[in-house]
Amino acid sequence: MRLNIVSAAFAAAITAVAFPALAQSDTRLTGSGASFPFPIYSAWFKDFSSKSDGITVDYQSKGSGAGIQDYLNKVVDFAASDSAMKDEDIAKAEGNVVLLPMTAGEIVLIYNLPGVTEVKLPRDVYPEIFLGNITNWNDPKIAEANPGVTLPDMPITVVVRSDSSGTTFNFTGHLSAIDAAFKDGPGFGNSVQWPSTDKLVKAPKNDGVTATVVQTPGAIGYTEYGYAKLTGTPMADLENKAGKFIKAGGEGGSNALASAQFDDQMRAFITDPDGENAYPIATFTWMVFPKSVADPVKADAMKKLVEYGLTDGQAMAESLGYIEMPEAVIEKVRTAAEKIGAGS
């Protein structure tokens, strides 16, 4: 029954980006990429399309890596990625790239432990779980952080992404920042070589990881907070750099973003945020637009979409499990968006 609820929730989200056929004079923007922001982008694109005269947006959630590849292959108008484009990918696009952080979110560790609704995971524990060194839920290191919680004698099944994923990039970037063995082992990237074990399961996209954890007793996996919130899946409290256990949601994500520093391509990487009350794993997620657009009407539609995301779209963030971007970041994005359609 629980898995049916999960499936129904995501089916509803997918339905939100299906639109009727357009009149010949209408403008259609097509995009693909990250699953991390799919719930909020679905809401944005449906609302924007209903309010915009003659503009609709179609978006396919297929993973950050696949979205960037679609953009490089020029089969979509824009892409979305949780890992900002690397210099080599920008070079492949011949510099025809405007990177814009459009929303932000927390990466959470969801788990399936019958009868256990709250778990704390120290920062010297959860990397060890994903390295395959801590393999049972009643491990002494987990038990020590959870006095009064009856942890079952149950093997841990680790659920990771099977596709090229910006969520994986940010999650493994964090693990590499706080654990030398993880940095020297799997390392970080959109795809990594996870430890070989019969208790590791791979699933596509954030919704696939979430659904797999929900149907697998003893499982733990990483996903965007909005997916956990949407499905009511338990999330671990994680220990941050200051030594405090922080719940996802609330002010923890905003506190994490406060330390972000952007480069000239509007890229920022928050691998281990400062701040006493910062949630430890948070990231911006980007849209990728072209500088050169043959059709000025389409370029104008792209700019209108960005402005919608910076205004009405931000107001939806908290209710959907995302982080409203700081005003200073919004102004930077608004200025950078003027490059869309301006040429190289």
Write the single-letter amino acid at 125.
Answer: V
Residues 197, 186 contacting (CB under 8 angstroms): no
Write the single-letter amino acid at 315.
Answer: A
Residues 247, 240 contacting (CB under 8 angstroms): no
In three-state secondary structure terms, 31 is strand
d(CA 166, CA 80): 10
Structure confidence at residue 69 (pLDDT):
97
Per-residue pLDDT of the chain (344 residues; tens, 9 = 90+): 444 445 445 544 444 454 444 444 489 999 999 999 999 999 999 999 999 989 999 999 999 999 999 999 999 999 999 999 999 999 999 999 999 999 999 999 999 999 999 999 999 999 999 999 999 999 999 999 999 999 999 999 999 999 999 999 999 999 999 999 999 999 999 999 999 999 999 999 999 999 999 999 999 999 999 999 999 999 999 999 999 999 999 899 999 998 799 999 999 999 999 999 999 999 999 999 999 999 999 999 999 999 999 999 999 999 999 999 999 999 999 999 999 987 75
Structure confidence at residue 343 (pLDDT):
72
Side-chain half-sphere exposure of 242, counting CA atoms within 13 A:
13
Residues 100, 215 contacting (CB under 8 angstroms): no
Side-chain half-sphere exposure of 190, counting CA atoms within 13 A:
23
pTM of the model: 0.89
Beta-bridge partners for 211: none
Angle at Cα 170 formed by Cα 315 and Cα 64, nearest 5°?
Answer: 75
Residues 237, 116 contacting (CB under 8 angstroms): no
Burial of 164 (0-12, 13-18, 19+ CB in 10 A): buried
Residues 54, 25 contacting (CB under 8 angstroms): yes
Residues 199, 91 contacting (CB under 8 angstroms): no
Angle at Cα 226 formed by Cα 221 and Cα 230, nearest 5°?
Answer: 95
Give me 209's structure tokens.
């990881």
Residues in the chain, overall count: 344
d(CA 188, CA 180): 12
d(CA 106, CA 109): 10
Burial of 117 (0-12, 13-18, 19+ CB in 10 A): exposed
Report all structural domains of the chain as residue ranges with CATH numbers, in order of start: 2-105+283-339 (3.40.190.10), 107-257 (3.40.190.10)
Distance of alpha carbon 138 from its chain centroid, rounded? 30
Q: CA separation (Å) from 313 to 11, 71, 291, 316, 330? A: 21, 23, 23, 5, 11
Beta-bridge partners for 126: none
Give me 166's structure tokens.
């910006």
